[in-house]
Structure 1
């Protein structure tokens, strides 16, 4: 079931996101950034900031009262920014991420937004291909990765983001 996350979900979201992107547990899935970044992916304070942003929401995918996936969504002018798409490492490939993306796109339609936009680390070829299969395309725009902000992790190499978008009919 997909629903909006709330403040009481922060501890579970924090564990989920960090388990999927960093550390030993992340190596069970294909979304790990362990080889690219040290440190944590997020913390409870950052998640609270995201959840209290009036232009944003976090959707969560739950089964049996356990959060197994989430995605951060923020209205920005004529688009919906999609970030922090997360699925439990043990369940990656089971369709949860696809369901969360579809829910994000539906939200964009309901809000009369023209497109869904995201940033992806440029060396994450498998992730870029995953989004391309769902209709997202590179805009050609690149953005620097925050190299000195531990809230995003500590890069093991120079990184940058590419911007990907999908027009919503």
Structure 2
């Protein structure tokens, strides 16, 4: 079941997101960033602040009272920004990510936003290919990867974001 996350979900979301992106547990799935970044992907404070913003929605995919997937959606002027698409590492390749993408498209249509945009780290070729198979296209635009004490690069490759989009309306 896909529903909107609330403050009560913050702790479970934080555990899920960090387990899917970083550290040993993330290596069970194919979307890990553990080989290029260390540190946390997010924090409970960041998630709580995100949920409180009325322009943001975190959709959660729940099964047996357990959050096993989520996606961040941010309403912008003429687009819906999609970020932090997460599926539990043990359940990746089971269709949950695709269902969350489809729900994001429904939300974009309901908000009358003509496109969904996202950024993906440039060296994540498999992930970019997956989004392309799901109708997203490379806009050709690139954005710098932010250096911070949270997202700590551990690769020699320069990191940047590839901007992808999908027209909805």
TM-score grouping bracket, smaller chain normalisation: over 0.9
Please give the residue correspondences for 1:23-42 in structure 2 after superposition, counting only pairs within 5 Å: 23-42=23-42
1:150 pairs with 2:141: no
Query: What corresponds to 2:77 in structure 1?
Result: 77
Separation of aligned partners in 2, 1:110 and 1:150? 37
Query: What corresponds to 1:13 in structure 2?
Result: 13
Separation of aligned partners in 2, 1:19 and 1:80? 26
Separation of aligned partners in 2, 1:150 and 1:138? 29
Please give the residue correspondences for 1:113-152 in structure 2 after superposition, counting only pairs within 5 Å: 113-147=113-147, 149-151=148-150
Separation of aligned partners in 2, 1:99 and 1:88? 14
State the SS of the aligned residue for 2:116: strand
State the SS of the aligned residue for 2:17: helix
In structure 1, runs of 5+ residues without a counterpart are none
1:94 pairs with 2:103: no
1:58 pairs with 2:54: no
In structure 2, runs of 5+ residues without a counterpart are none
Shift of residue 156, structure 1, vs aligned partner: 1.6
Separation of aligned partners in 2, 1:86 and 1:150? 22
State the SS of the aligned residue for 2:61: strand
Q: Deviations over 1:13-66 (max 9, x none)?
A: 000000000011000000100000011101101101111111010000001110
Separation of aligned partners in 2, 1:150 and 1:28? 25
Q: Deviations over 1:63-94 (max 9, x none)?
A: 11100000000011010000000000000000
TM-score (norm: length of structure 1): 0.97
Separation of aligned partners in 1, 2:49 and 2:128? 27
Separation of aligned partners in 1, 2:95 and 2:136? 17
TM-score (norm: length of structure 2): 0.97
